[in-house]
A and B are shown apart, each in its own frame.
Chain A
């Protein structure tokens, strides 16, 4: 049972970038069976910043992994930018992630031996593509990393590292960016910098961002907040304040 949307998306939808239909994910068999996702259907329109919340074991990470093509559902269908993920082999799935999906991880996951600029360009280099210099300059400007581009990750603060990671995700102009606890490893000040950047990505560059988070203040910048419990979407809200979010979470626990 999935909840009906309480509010229409803030921005006009020009089509859904990610569409999930009746997703189930079952681990184990028989008595030890665990239903991590239990019939989730949800769509994400272009240009939306969505936050997925829920207590540990609610299935929010599993949902994101499946939507991002990192994991496969037991049942149901996922469309990313019009492509059905079910039935894609590892090679095709990998290329889809490369071409259509950007990632921002909790632990930044930058390569320590590459400079900030090289880390930003990494996915495009792997794809054998040339980054658009104007777009790259815009991103560097937006991240405020201008003077730190030749530094290695070890010489950058956590917030700077995560801004590099966001720039890395944005450079190839993917259809959607997934964030896995993007502020989970940052203090509140640097969290704010990273969240601002994600917000600008949506507002100024028209990106679509879906992030899983524990952090109510992170979810408070989202256009839409989804709450999961026991593998089901229990609330699908529009913009909420941090207080409202915390109240909802309390009712879930």
Chain B
């Protein structure tokens, strides 16, 4: 039987190849993703291990609660205690913060969203950085810079430059050019400047503080031994003592959670879509080939093959195709990972080169998914092949018997659809974990896709009747034949179209979803902000110096400059933003959307009352009159009485208190100021005032000044980048579905060889024949495109409605939808190229005598 399977595959090369491609592309994506993320993972570990190569023990502050992005600091003076511990050779406080060099007027900050680091310089025997030119900074006003910055800004040792700090621009002298460990310094486009401890403490308001204490052991003292000794010398519960190795692994793990895993799961999700589309195509191809081979199977049955052997031969064929496609996919995946690595580098998000890693897990996952899906998709067609009676071998035009469950399939489809809708509804409105909700949401969507694919065979005929008229008008007789061909096997056309439907559906969905995010932000700016200009902190988690506020207030034409600050707090088990506002100026720049309360409440907040955003109030189950206990990132605690609730999931999304109430909860380096809303006096030009604010804030490079439109544009451009990435990833699924159309057409043409011979004999030109096949493809792709657009709109609408309280707005993307429909027609035309050429090349006489 194996011999027969192999011979079968060999004689149906094109068909087998097209089927294999359907699964190959999905496997390629899985393999590429796993290889790439393994590479990222290993790169992170290498970087942090190289960084900690000289460090034996690390001491750090334990944050009061987990899952915070804000840095926490320890008391730097404990370094004196550490230095006294037996076995310590060197111990130095270390601070990690954000800032950048301004060389010859050019800001040398990071690219691609990576941080711009400023580190304190520690003793040479602890320092992960080594000067390749000059030396490490020692005196105040000295800095050393990474070699990439030096090269980019043409910075020479000994030159006078400027450093952007939280306290404004400082004059510095570059005394050294550095490399990290023994190689590259730039991780994901980040930049690094080293300065002295006292300068950093002063310029970032961190007097007496440090991020970590780095410790070097004396010779003969192991990391573990030293760690234990320091631990007993520093019994404070809020301090963490780790070996250098443990710290490196932890940091690599954290960064990997933040970047590597997100990349991994996002890419795998899209690979999953590609695999799903591939499964449809494999199912369809096997259904068609089993039907075409009815007589062959019947003949095998007459000469004594058992049902089991027939089943085994079809599944064996699927297994082989799956195996070959998976192996090819794994190899191509290595190429994909290599290419993606290059692409990241090209867009300024360089990954450290570690070579491609093909782990055995990758191989197993790829083989299991590739072969598993192919075999799974072939089971139903294989079972139908076993139903063929031996007598069919003797009958002219014997057809595959209808399956036992065929008459129940609409009912099954409806049940699957209802389950899918239930899954989506649960995912949208339940209050379970995010992962659980996303999983049910995705599962629901897959079930709905399946149900629609199963039911869409019933719409093929009506759609063809509608499309047939215009197509007949444009293409004449061949248009009519094309329409009829598309409709003659509705199940086949429907499944082929369904593969395209999935890709188009998700494209439409992400368009609506991302558009909703964009609209929620721009809508919030339009409806909530009365101010025209916003001053905010550049980079993440930053605050702006207190001196910025008076500077802005002093600008001519500024009517109101209202400061807003905040800190991360924990309430119950959840993390929230505690927002400090100025009650006298806020109403002039911001319009509250009250659900319970009024602007009059603002003046009564004092130090113990708070306003809560309505969705958060719901999560915390508090109403006006209730109280909330907050734990700040600084470790301080406070209790507030809720006096009012309002809705704003975008701008003031948190718990609003009066500024004096915020102050005691801030970390020592925080200014309690991160945003200033600026309202321009009536009759004054916004542009003029903005230019004035820009000028006034020249000394404060960490503060950025934006008009409302600029804020919207910034948000839109970030969101658009994500959209482009989504489109690129979904394009793969669309391409796979094109192979599905190609495959179905090739198989159908094969089936209709004699008809094609007749058509050519009675005077159909090659051009007309190609047009006929093109129209059939276009009808299929229109069905797929229209169903996809409808489902995409449905999903988009459901998710936007479900997340309405998070600010998501449903916007109907009319122009994009028109573009997607046109694209699906183009897809059909493209898919028809190869089959049309094959059909047109058929020899008329050979085709006429084809059986």
Contact = CB atoms under 8 A, between A and B. Distances in A.
Is B one of A's binding partners? yes
B760 interface: yes
Contacts of A105: 758, 761, 848
A94 B765 contact: yes
B485 A97 contact: no
Contacts of A102: 762
A125 to B, nearest CB: 3
Interface string B274-308: 00000000000000000000000000000000000
B488 A91 contact: no
A13 interface: no
B478 A126 contact: yes
Interface string A120-136: 00111111100000000
A126 B768 contact: yes
Interface in A97-112: 97-99, 101-103, 105, 107, 109, 111-112
A126 B477 contact: yes
Contacts of B757: 109
Interface in B762-781: 762-768
A34 interface: no
Contacts of A26: none
A123 B765 contact: no
B845 A126 contact: no
Contacts of B754: 107, 109
B210 to A, nearest CB: 81
Contacts of A8: none
Given A111-B755, A113-B488, A126-B477, A91 B845 contact: no
A118 B484 CA distance: 11
B461 to A, nearest CB: 11
B845 A98 contact: no
Contacts of B264: none
Contacts of B481: 111, 114, 122
Contacts of A128: 476-477
B17 interface: no
Interface in B733-766: 754-755, 757-766
A216 B478 CA distance: 38
Nearest to A68: B761
B480 interface: yes
Contacts of A118: 480
Interface residues of B, number: 26
B844 interface: yes
A126 B476 contact: yes
A126 B763 contact: yes
A98 B762 contact: yes
Given A65-B845, A109-B754, A111-B481, A126 B762 contact: yes
B759 A126 contact: yes
A137 interface: no
Contacts of A111: 481, 484, 755, 758
Of A95, A101, A112, A122, most B-chain CB atoms within 10 Å: A122
B764 A94 contact: yes
B487 interface: yes
A127 B478 CA distance: 9
A103 B763 CA distance: 10
A91 B484 contact: no
A125 B759 CA distance: 11
Best-surrounded residue of B477, B488, B755 (most CB of chain A within 10 A): B477
Interface in A65-106: 65, 68, 70-71, 90-91, 94-95, 97-99, 101-103, 105
Contacts of A101: 763
Given A97-B763, A125-B480, A113 B758 contact: no
Contact of B762 (A71, A90, A112, A122): A122
Contacts of B762: 97-98, 102-103, 122-123, 126, 168
A91 B755 CA distance: 19
Given A105-B848, A126-B768, A114 B484 contact: yes
Interface in B215-236: none
Contacts of B487: 113
Nearest to A121: B477
Given A105-B758, A111-B484, A114-B481, A98 B476 contact: no
A122 B765 CA distance: 14
Given A65-B845, A122-B477, A91 B764 contact: no
A105 B478 CA distance: 21
Nearest to B761: A103
Nearest to B479: A125
B477 A95 contact: no
Nearest to B486: A113
Contacts of A90: 766
B484 A95 contact: no
Contacts of A68: 761
Contact of A125 (B477, B485, B766): B477
Interface string A121-156: 011111110000000000000000000000000000
A109 B763 contact: no
Nearest to B478: A126
Nearest to B484: A113
A122 B763 CA distance: 10
B485 A126 contact: no
A114 B483 CA distance: 11
A99 B759 CA distance: 13
A94 B763 CA distance: 5
Nearest to B477: A125
A127 B763 contact: yes
Given A71-B845, A91-B766, A125-B476, A97 B484 contact: no
Interface in A211-225: none
Interface in B453-493: 476-478, 480-481, 484-485, 487-488
A70 B761 contact: yes
Contacts of A113: 484-485, 487-488
A71 B757 CA distance: 13
Interface string B825-851: 000000000000000000011001000
14 contacts: A65-B845, A90-B766, A94-B760, A94-B765, A105-B761, A109-B758, A111-B484, A112-B488, A113-B485, A113-B488, A114-B481, A122-B481, A126-B764, A128-B476
Given A90-B766, A111-B484, A125-B476, 12 more contacts: A65-B845, A70-B844, A70-B845, A94-B760, A95-B765, A105-B758, A105-B848, A111-B755, A113-B484, A114-B481, A123-B762, A126-B478
Interface of B: 476-478, 480-481, 484-485, 487-488, 754-755, 757-768, 844-845, 848
Interface of A: 65, 68, 70-71, 90-91, 94-95, 97-99, 101-103, 105, 107, 109, 111-114, 118, 122-128, 168
**What 6 pairs between A and B have smallest CB-CB spacing?**
A98-B763, A125-B477, A109-B758, A113-B484, A126-B477, A123-B762
